[in-house]
Amino acid sequence: MCYLFTVQAPTGLNKRSQCNSVEFSWNLASCGDRGGNITSFSYLLYDGDGFLVDSGDTDATFIEIDDLMYGETYEFNVAASTSAGQGPVSGTNVTTESGTSLLF
Residue 102 lies in a domain: no
> DSSP string spanning 62-77?
EEEE-SPPTT-EEEEE
Domain count, the chain: 1
CA dist., res. 81 & res. 27, Å (int): 14
Length of the chain: 104
* Contact criterion met (CB below 8 Å) for 78 and 24: yes
Residue 6 lies in a domain: no
State residue 103's pLDDT score: 42
Residue 104 lies in a domain: no
Residue 46 lies in a domain: yes
Domain that includes residue 86, residue range: 11-95
Per-residue pLDDT of 15-59, as tens digits, reads: 998 888 999 999 887 776 666 788 899 999 999 999 999 999 999
Residue 16 lies in a domain: yes
64 SS3 class? strand
> Among residues 45, 48, 50, which one has the least CA distance to residue 21?
45
Task: Tell me the Cα Rg of the chain.
Answer: 15
Check the CA dihedral 31-36-39-41 and report its sign: negative
Residue 39 lies in a domain: yes
Residue 5 lies in a domain: no
Per-residue pLDDT of 62-76, as tens digits, reads: 999 999 998 999 999
Give residue 97's pLDDT band: very low, low, confident or very high (50, 70, 90).
confident
Residue 103 lies in a domain: no
Q: What's 52's domain CATH number? A: 2.60.40.10
